[in-house]
Amino acid sequence: MKRILILNIMLLIGLMSYGQQEPQYTQYMYNPTVVNPAYAGSKGFTSIYGLYRTQWVGLDGAPKTVNVSMNKPIEGSKLGYGVSVLNDNIGVSDDTQISVDLAYTLFLSNDSRLAFGLKASGNLLNVDYNKLNQYNPGEQVLQNNITNLFSPNVGVGLYYYNNTSYFGASVPMLFDTEKYDDVNRAQINQRYHMYFMGGKVFDLSYNLKFKPAFISKVVAGAPLQLDLSANFMFSDKFVIGAAYRWSASVSMLAGFQLSDNLFVGYGYDTETTRLSNYNSGSHELFLQFDLFRKHSRIATPRFF
């Protein structure tokens, strides 16, 4: 019984440490600041973003993610900044990250920009072993919950963009951190992740736009993760598309411009692995609210 209990704990920790150390998003193109601080202020106005994602519905302990963020340019300067709160709940663990982004932009031509970004973040980790089905409550590994374990970090990013395309590279957390000790608990090494992203908007007709995009995540000890997406925008109002996460899932995407300032989007993922036998897919809902947006920019909504 003891071996079964410890095995279950290690399987959960394995999911956290190798499968998903950092949250994943299907509609990454609408809020790149979560992984790339250089994006902050690039839209030219204040943008507020909120997201809720429930992953692998029906699987006990599956990830649930909430993200609320804001970014804006600093008037009269080449700087932009952003703040973000991210909560990721997986199994018995609850991880909250608060981050601040600062970006500096170089104007390369009339419509091309290159931004450099810095991210400062702090994580608070809580692990409540009481949420486990304990077959032997006296086990030493279950006696000490983890409460508000703090770990600071810093990240960097580059972001090139113009009116119709973008490309970014970033490492949102540069330093490896240990989130558990190795005395009487299991240990997680939080490894740094490298992200590459890009996208382009094509005008297919007067009222139809097409945008392919990608994001790739590289981390030591794990397979390369690559997300490919293709979205169509009709009459600058309605967006529909599909996405594919390499060897993992396929997704359907939809969004609607409710007003000049408010955009809402939804994504549904279904697994292409054996994990599909144990869950009914993943759901992702987000709202994007833009403030002080100049009228001239409303005529052509951006995909990014």
| CATH number of the domain enclosing 188 | 2.40.160.40
Residue 304 pLDDT exceeds 90:
no
pLDDT mean over 280-294: 89
Q: How many domains does the chain fold into?
A: 1
Pairwise CA distance, residues 79 & 292, whole Å: 17
Residue 144 is assigned to a structural domain of this protein: yes
- Cα separation, 68 vs 225, in Å, equals 24
Residues 37, 102 contacting (CB under 8 angstroms): yes
Q: For residue 60, what are the domain limits?
A: 38-291
User: Does residue 19 sit within a domain?
Assistant: no
The answer to whether residue 17 is domain-embedded is no
Q: Is residue 149 in a domain?
A: yes
213 falls within a domain: yes
Would you state the pLDDT for residue 71?
96
pTM: 0.85
Q: What is the pLDDT of residue 14?
A: 46
Is residue 183 a part of any domain in this protein?
Answer: yes
- With respect to residue 14, please indicate whether it lies within any of the assigned structural domains: no
User: Cα separation of 108 and 167, whole Å?
Assistant: 15
Handedness of CA 191, 247, 250, 258 (dihedral sign): positive
Tokens of 29: 């193109």
pLDDT classification of 129: cutoffs 50, 70, 90: confident
9 within domain boundaries = no
**Whether the predicted pLDDT of 190 surpasses 70:** no
With 0-12 / 13-18 / 19 or more C-beta atoms within 10 angstroms meaning exposed / middle / buried, residue 68 is: middle
Token pair, residue 148, equals: 């508000």
41-50, 125-134, 221-230, 283-292: least confidently modelled range: 125-134
